[in-house]
Structure 1
């Protein structure tokens, strides 16, 4: 059964080691806020951390700029020679032994067999399954981890891993080095990546970038809402919903990616 602990719960001060960028922390230090929290959550609600004034020398905005720059340099340097790749998104709560886990694993395997590197968030669940599928057939398996209070580290099937402190730096890597997204059933994080990609395609920021949703039963109601609410009320242009492709199988999803890579249409 999947862990039902809510991810927004604060870190346990007695927990084991966790990664914070290049740091490995345990005990009370592991309960300190992440770098994203220090940057974005000025309220510092419920955090067991020193006052901001005590750590100002390393968390001031000027120092953050250098940290952010370093994240981009690390990501660009690691992934620059990656070759054709697809980013795969899905729930971290997808349990091994479920149909969803098997689907994600098949997606990873088929992508690798088609010559794509598989990029995920490097975590458990569907991310682990997609990395595992690529690993099964000797493909390139990439994990882009993120510092979170409940972080468990990169899954064991990641061959190339980069840990990020800041979500926005990580998001750039998902988009910059992928030829498209395959999106499996997931929660808020999955939806965040999905709608960011759609916005960039809609605005022409990226082009020829297929976004494929796998599992019609799961995604169908969302697509119906986009068509029946957003398009019907003029919130998006007629046809914008067609930026999405919805399929049921890993084979269909990978075929769409291969078609775009070869100069076809999603």
Structure 2
């Protein structure tokens, strides 16, 4: 249904090869593959190079190749980890996901997509306790983290946290989208938990950033016809791709979702999706990469957890610069879920005290973030 866009150029480690173009460049420039790490590339058409070049100490991760080439590499001192058949994902992939990739075959219904199939595999293998499956999940999450780090080199990242219950068609959703747009237009990279609700709204706003303001108004109207991913993820996702099709080439942002919460599909407005099996790895990674601050919109248990996951390293930070934290909606964070009083108590007398703020309205968040040094 959708063509997968070209992967962005990123900073990579000197000895990592993650695309066929990089492979050809390295071979031409160095004439050796010794001690290189070659990751997730189809090398079946590069047999001559594999049979002739020095490869001692090289590692090939999930690279399809001819049998003779694999045998020669092992004999020459390389490690070859072959592709794993029968998986709905590549545990050795070199890049984060694109929405088109995760939602491929959406025309047949969400259940036919790689995203849904990966969740089905996750549930089945988690239940049977297979150590091989748990190893594959760990490898996958590690390479996704590596790809995300390479993608975000030099970026000023602002995390936008919030619950999945925020419905399309509401003023709260529209406000969150305008927040994402303003942050993106300020030159910041918006990063969210990558799911529905407030997360999708912020990614949508970043997507809308290059267009005129009327585009977002119209996009919000189109999305409102499928307010939630319940009862139909298919209808919800199709509405997002309708917006993307009408306004192609939107602004880039990052979504960091998880298959741990299988009932929450990823949203299609984050250009770069780092999806994890392990939720703890995902949560820590999202907050740790939000180097320009975090905005916490109203949410429930998950958002409360994220507030204090972020507050903990800030609490112990005594020499550097704690991450700015802006909590939105005074009523929510002081009365409904009183995280703000506890955050204030923790911050009292510490460096982080000057890096936290509570605002009444979402429109105040960008200025508060700027004032805190974000």
Q: Fold-level match, TM-score > 0.5?
A: yes
Alignment equivalent of 2:169, drawn from 94, 97, 105: 97
Task: Say which one has the larger Rg.
Answer: 2
- On the 8 A contact 2:175/2:363 being kept in 1, the answer is no
Alignment equivalent of 1:210, drawn from 324, 342, 346: 324
Higher RCO structure (Cα 8 Å, ≥6 apart): 1
Q: Cα offset for 1:103?
A: 2.0
Cα shift readout 1:93-143 (whole Å, capped 9, x = no counterpart): 111122321221121111112211110111110011111111111343211
Q: 1:190-229 alignment to 2 at 5 Å?
A: 190-204=303-317, 207-221=321-335, 222-223=338-339, 225-226=341-342
Cα shift readout 1:132-169 (whole Å, capped 9, x = no counterpart): 11111134321112113534432121112211112232
The alignment covers a number of residue pairs equal to: 220
In structure 1, what is the Cα distance between the partners aligned to 2:143 and 2:124?
A: 17
Work out whether 1:25 is the aligned partner of 2:117: yes
Alignment partner, residue 134 of structure 2: 59
Q: 1:234-253 alignment to 2 at 5 Å?
A: 236=346, 238-239=348-349, 242=353, 243-253=355-365
Give the secondary-structure state (helix, strand or coil) at the position aligned to 1:245: strand
In structure 2, what is the Cα distance between the partners aligned to 1:189 and 1:84?
A: 24
User: Which runs of 5 or more structure 1 residues have no equivalent in the other structure?
Assistant: 1-14, 39-48
CA RMSD of aligned residues (A): 3.1
User: Which runs of 5 or more structure 2 residues have no equivalent in the other structure?
Assistant: 1-109, 211-250
- On the 8 A contact 2:258/2:278 being kept in 1, the answer is yes
Name the TM-score, length of structure 2 as normaliser. Answer: 0.52
- On the 8 A contact 1:128/1:155 being kept in 2, the answer is yes
In structure 2, what is the Cα distance between the partners aligned to 1:154 and 1:165?
A: 13
Is the strand fraction higher in 1 or 2?
1
Name the TM-score, length of structure 1 as normaliser. Answer: 0.70
In structure 1, what is the Cα distance between the partners aligned to 2:361 and 2:253?
A: 21
- On the 8 A contact 2:166/2:172 being kept in 1, the answer is yes
